[in-house]
Structure 1
Amino acid sequence: MRQLDRDDVTRRDVLKTTGAGGLVVLGSTAGCLESSDGSGDGGSDGGSGDGGSGDGGSETTDSSGDGGSMQDTYTIGMVNSLTGSLAPYGERNERGLQLALADINDVGIGSNGAEFAVVQEDSESVNQSGVNAARKLVTQDGVPLLIGAVGSGVSIAIYDSVVSGTDVVQISQNSTSPELTNKPGLMRMSPSGSAKGQALANLVGQDHDTVAVTWINNDYGTGLSDVFADSFEGDVAYNTPHDQDQSSYRGILSEMAATDATAWVMITYANEFTIMVNEAYDQGYHEQVEYYGAESTVADAITENTEPGSMESMTGITESAPVDQESYQNFASTFEDEFGSAPSVWSAYAYDAVTVAAIATEAADEFTGAALQEVVRDVTRPEGEAVYTFEDAKAILEDGGGPSDVNYEGVSGPVDLDENGDPPGFYQVYEVNDHTYEFGDFITG
């Protein structure tokens, strides 16, 4: 774990220092700066449950009930995909995390302006490593709130093995599987894939009567493919899973080609899709069918590692931010200034997950999982006054308002966590032209 010196750190310096697997503490002037059990104390109660009552490893100086206990630092955890199939999305997460912490620590938590910090651990994009990372954060670091994860299967495994039965709060930054809706204690910033699966089925059905589907064999793939198959009005001639992290998918592609499907839907991750595209291109399949996908087949790493023309006119549905919203435009401008590229909605989801955690910390009576559970949904609900920054939310709370007086409208759109922990969502149609992703119509789900 790594913690930097807190003196004389500029915002730009701060944004360059966030690393994997370390303690991230961000500030602008006075602060600093994309499977199952491993510890023997597991089971469904997640071990010791320290996250439910601990102080996140922070030094407590007073217990005044102002923004939680008066502490020098409030530390939460994040399980992110820093390596593995979802690493391209983990990198986007990390950038959103950095910007959120910079904005939060420009203001600080509580009347003493305490630091807000994140201990980040790598899921390696697989369930087992994700569970081990979460258990380390909860039982060793004692975090009361856990952001995680990117992959839906990883998020569900963390909830089932580490969080369920404890007071620890879990907010997934990126998971979209409809399966998460069945676990109300597992909240998320990205919307359920149910609306996306229906929209994808309608999109494919506009031009095709017969489709072949392959989906990655985990909770993400299962959930989205089930919705698609139930919603598609034509013939699903092939509907078969594929395993993650394989060196070749020629067998799957050959079976899809043997059908009379004129459209192929590939519900998978960036690494797997890259292999499929290259192997299909070698076999000339790209000239025989049209490709369709979802959000996990949108990544620069895909176009960088495939041949021009190999997925021309591919079409799909992806989550989107409300790009006309002022708060998103401000976020995008700052993102481009700091990182030299436009953000994706996945960076915005990570930003919002961290910001909601900070607002809940400000609003709670104390910095424990139980206290955070009481307020984390309330600070996102439409009954409160709409705010778009941590600073504005804090102003309401300092002026005597309670959690229900705050309605955080995220840079990714309205958060409004419902009884299942799901937010509403925005989706957008994309297409690949000249080996470049182009984005078109919006869909509200």
Structure 2
Amino acid sequence: MTRKFAGFAAAAAMALMAQAGLAAAQDCSVKVGVVLPTSVDWGKPIAETALWVADMVNEAGGVDGCKVEAILRDDQNDAKVGVDAAKALVDLDKVQLLMGAVSSGVTIPILTSVTVPAGVMQISCCSSSTRITGLAADGQLKGLWFRTFATSRVQAAVAAMVAREQGYRKVTILYKNDDWGQDIARLATEAFQGSGIEVAASIAITDAQPSYRAEVTQALASEPDALYLPLYPKEGISVVREWLSLGGTTKMIGANSLKSDEFRDAVGMQYLADFIGTDTSTPRTDSASSFKAAYEARFGKPPSGPGLPNSFDAAAISLLAYHAAGRGATGAEIAAKVPMVTDPNGEKVGVDVEGLKKAMALLKEGKAVSIQGGTGAVSFDPYGDVSAPAVSWTFGASGVEEKRYIPLEEVGAFIASLK
């Protein structure tokens, strides 16, 4: 009896010590910055998705045993606000990892003036400007940059593909006058012309103008068969209303930035019967289907807004890289572990709590993994870019409805065919 009691006491003491160790691990935290446009209707779900992943990482044991403290700041889709938010996170909160932003016009100044100078890793779910590729190729981003969204070249090409399928011969572009809008308008012009479609005019739309009558009148004078609209909902609503009020055609092609209930409801479904949207897409994989099911279970609705699987994957990849690098890692050390998390030859791991636990254990053993997330198996090129299939979509009574899925191979073949 004495020996049994002593054994029981020793086991109890060991359990208490283990609990104490777990409690100590939970007492430490790792701060991570999140800069996203939560004040716009399509931005809030993107942020909620990133925070959801942080919660799952914490449930799986945290980054190197420490709780992830995700500090969210609203950039209002404004470059100055975004830079100020990033500076506060880097200078005051001392984050070594920043997730964001959505708009390339916000991401680029954060990269060039905040994160790269400070040596902080930055990853975006949604910024697509090819200007960032150029910065990376020139060595200006120092290997600190990644994005889980394909560049604007894919959407621009798909816009031309849609226009050709619809039989449009002449298109006018109304684009947002920022880094993203200028980039995609340039690429779309090349894609339309390479498809034999005339670009009648390409007109910049500067945000927060009291009226867009002058720009719309110029667009009407070009007499296009259709409009191409790489705009955000705020200015997109004003421009399209003005266009329709002056007798413009309802034949419009929209970038994924207009995949918004706000845009649909403000313009009105009766004017959107001929509207066709474009977007990059998740591949038709089991992991993408699993993400959709998990998202609906978490939020009570399907992931129909832009950038949601991309936000999921950006958060999972970066937090696992942080775990592999260790709690005291620098931004450069975190970035250096990203290939270890996205290794095509690594063990395939799903991104749920159990999958995260498995990935964390393998990474701590020095083994590579291949994360199978909302956009499938992500793999970055030397400039932090990814490739992706695409979709065309329309607005339906219940929201966004997919029109056609375009596999990666078809997208690539179409781009290669452009003259």
TM over 0.5: yes
Whole-angstrom CA distance in 1 between matches of 2:27 and 2:150: 33
1:130-180 deviation per Cα after TM superposition (whole angstroms, max 9, x unaligned): 111101100110000111101111000100111223321010121112222
- 1:25 aligned residue: none
One-letter amino acid of the counterpart of residue 440, structure 1: K
Whole-angstrom CA distance in 2 between matches of 1:264 and 1:327: 36
Whole-angstrom CA distance in 2 between matches of 1:404 and 1:418: 21
Say whether the 8 Å CA contact 2:32–2:70 is kept in structure 1.
yes
- 2:93 aligned residue: 141
2:52 aligned counterpart, secondary structure: helix
1:93-115 deviation per Cα after TM superposition (whole angstroms, max 9, x unaligned): 1221232123212212266x431
Say whether the 8 Å CA contact 2:225–2:249 is kept in structure 1.
no
1:264-293 deviation per Cα after TM superposition (whole angstroms, max 9, x unaligned): 111100111111222223223135xx1111
- 2:298 aligned residue: 338
2:371 aligned counterpart, secondary structure: strand
1:376-406 deviation per Cα after TM superposition (whole angstroms, max 9, x unaligned): 2331131312222264354255247666611
- 2:368 aligned residue: 405
- 1:97 aligned residue: 50
Q: What CA RMSD, in Å, does the superposition of the two structures yield over aligned residues? A: 2.4
1:386 aligned counterpart, secondary structure: strand
Unaligned segments of structure 1, at least 5 residues: 1-29, 31-60, 63-69
Of 126, 129, 151, 1:192 maps to 151
Equivalent residues, number? 373
Query: 1:234-273, aligned counterparts within 5 Å?
Result: 234-273=197-236
1:177-223 deviation per Cα after TM superposition (whole angstroms, max 9, x unaligned): 22221233321111111122112112213311111111101111111
1:260 aligned counterpart, secondary structure: coil
1:317 aligned counterpart, secondary structure: strand
- 1:150 aligned residue: 102
2:389 is equivalent to residue 437 of structure 1: no
Q: Percent identity?
A: 25
Of 280, 284, 291, 2:252 maps to 291
- 1:371 aligned residue: 333
Query: 1:390-429, aligned counterparts within 5 Å?
Result: 391-392=354-355, 394-399=357-362, 405-429=368-392
Q: TM-score, normalised by structure 1?
A: 0.78
Whole-angstrom CA distance in 1 between matches of 2:359 and 2:301: 33
Of 339, 350, 362, 2:323 maps to 362
2:344 is equivalent to residue 382 of structure 1: yes
1:408 aligned counterpart, secondary structure: strand
Whole-angstrom CA distance in 1 between matches of 2:172 and 2:163: 11
Larger mean Cα displacement after TM superposition, 405-414 or 142-151: 405-414
Whole-angstrom CA distance in 2 between matches of 1:414 and 1:225: 29
Structure 1 residues 148 and 400: CA distance shift in structure 2, 3 A: closer
Say whether the 8 Å CA contact 2:57–2:63 is kept in structure 1.
no
Larger mean Cα displacement after TM superposition, 371-380 or 260-269: 371-380
1:285 aligned counterpart, secondary structure: coil
1:305 aligned counterpart, secondary structure: helix
Say whether the 8 Å CA contact 1:312–1:435 is kept in structure 2.
no
Structure 1 residues 399 and 409: CA distance shift in structure 2, 3 A: closer
Q: TM-score, normalised by structure 2?
A: 0.82
Whole-angstrom CA distance in 2 between matches of 1:399 and 1:414: 17
Whole-angstrom CA distance in 2 between matches of 1:335 and 1:208: 38
Structure 1 residues 117 and 327: CA distance shift in structure 2, 3 A: farther
Whole-angstrom CA distance in 1 between matches of 2:183 and 2:324: 35
2:129 is equivalent to residue 173 of structure 1: no
Question: Cα offset for 1:243?
Answer: 0.3
2:38 is equivalent to residue 82 of structure 1: yes
Whole-angstrom CA distance in 2 between matches of 1:270 and 1:404: 44
Q: Which has the higher helix share?
A: 2
Structure 1 residues 400 and 138: CA distance shift in structure 2, 3 A: closer
Whole-angstrom CA distance in 2 between matches of 1:166 and 1:311: 46
Structure 1 residues 400 and 265: CA distance shift in structure 2, 3 A: closer
Q: Which one has the largest radius of gyration?
A: 2
Of 264, 281, 306, 1:303 maps to 264
Structure 1 residues 393 and 336: CA distance shift in structure 2, 3 A: closer
Larger mean Cα displacement after TM superposition, 405-414 or 253-262: 405-414
- 2:9 aligned residue: none
Whole-angstrom CA distance in 2 between matches of 1:238 and 1:228: 12
Whole-angstrom CA distance in 2 between matches of 1:342 and 1:249: 35
One-letter amino acid of the counterpart of residue 188, structure 2: F
